Structure 1
Amino acid sequence: MRQARPSVHAFVGTALAIVVAGAVAVLTHQPWLFPSLGPAVMLHVEKPDAPQSSPRSTLIGHGVALLAGYAFLVACGLSDDPSALQEGVDGPRIVAAAGSVAVTTAVLVLLKASHPPAGATTLIVSLGLLRTPAQLLIAAGAVVLVTVVNWLYGRVSARPMPVWAASDPSSRGARNG
């Protein structure tokens, strides 16, 4: 398949992933669309070979983010409270938000799995926008879904994402130098 112009490629790949997740949301009446999917999909289609765009970084990043966000939501006693959009922000909510983003960042650095959209995911949870275990599982499923859609789209459009992890640029330089 002939390489599409970058903007057309990005448009089609982004629209496809979001439409698929949206269709699942309509069919299931569940939150298969949430804000941090947008930047994840954008990374997939704009920079499919970048380490932060890889399936590994995407799946680990959002997984860690969901767990950290929920852990801080529970630890701060907010799991049964309305979201910050309804209730506002107070001390415990700030602790939950700051703690979840800090832990997510630290763990992803340790795992060498940087994926900046995960910072939004952990805030979505720690701010109470998604807060039940069922919603978190659906969010995880949505991340898997858009990653698979973008992975397949990359294969058919000749701009493939790696199967799992992107090659380390420093090791490429060592091999080439």
Structure 2
Amino acid sequence: MTGREPAHAFAGSAVALVVAGAVAMATHQPWLFPSLGPAVMLHVEKPAAPESSPRNTLIGHLVALLAGYGSLGSCGLADRPSVLQEGVTGPRIVAAAGSLAVTAAVLLLLRSPHPPAGATTLIVSLGLLRTPTQLLVAAAAVVLVTAVDWAYNRATGRGMPIWAARREGADSG
């Protein structure tokens, strides 16, 4: 590790969240939510890693949002207060476990690992973001920070792929 890597991570993380935060302030919508932090950290710390690629980031969070919302609905929790307000219940545990299990399995099937998606699916299945508008804003926030991080990495000479990272063992050509 060089002395420049911590500065790069510091600046890149700050830029992405300041941009998302400014949009959140302007729109009064949840453009900032917890799983953006680990996604941004992957982008700025390991921009060439498969799990950091725009492909895996976008697919990961989309699958997570859908799995979380599906679990929320199938467990009868779509109109219930969040786990923070209502507490942990049996249906909430089933929704959380189900959403994480589905997210993990689907991302492996799609060859799109992105660990921060595990936090996104829990945020939804625990009812912290639960309306269709909130889910669309969360998806847009993932697109926004991914684009900001991509531009930041490119501007600073770091190799974040345009879409997908090159798989290890893939032919060069």
TM range (shorter): over 0.9
Q: CA deviation at 1:160?
A: 2.6
CA contact (8 A) 1:44 1:54 kept: yes
Q: CA deviation at 1:48?
A: 0.1
Q: Which amino acid aligns with 1:17?
A: A
Q: CA deviation at 1:170?
A: 2.0
CA RMSD of aligned residues (A): 1.2
Q: CA deviation at 1:4?
A: 7.5
Q: Which amino acid aligns with 1:9?
A: H
- Alignment correspondent of 2:66: 67
- Alignment correspondent of 2:47: 48
- Alignment correspondent of 1:76: 75
- Alignment correspondent of 2:150: 151
1:1-177 pair list within 5 angstroms? 5-171=4-170
CA contact (8 A) 1:124 1:130 kept: yes
* Residue-by-residue CA offset, 1:30-87 (whole Å, 9 max, x unaligned): 0000000000000000000000000000000000000000000000000000000110
In 2, Cα distance between equivalents of 1:52 and 1:170: 16
For residue 57 of structure 1, give the secondary structure of its aligned residue in structure 2: helix
In 1, Cα distance between equivalents of 2:160 and 2:88: 39
Q: Which runs of 5+ in 1 are unaligned?
A: none
Deviation beyond 6 Å, 4+ runs, structure 1: none
TM-score normalised according to structure 1 size: 0.95
Q: Which amino acid aligns with 2:149?
A: N
Q: Which amino acid aligns with 1:151?
A: W
- In the comparison of the two structures, how many residue pairs are matched? 171
CA contact (8 A) 1:4 1:157 kept: no
TM-score normalised according to structure 2 size: 0.97
Q: CA deviation at 1:171?
A: 1.6
Aligned-pair identity (%): 72
In 2, Cα distance between equivalents of 1:155 and 1:39: 20
In 2, Cα distance between equivalents of 1:157 and 1:29: 31
Q: CA deviation at 1:163?
A: 0.5
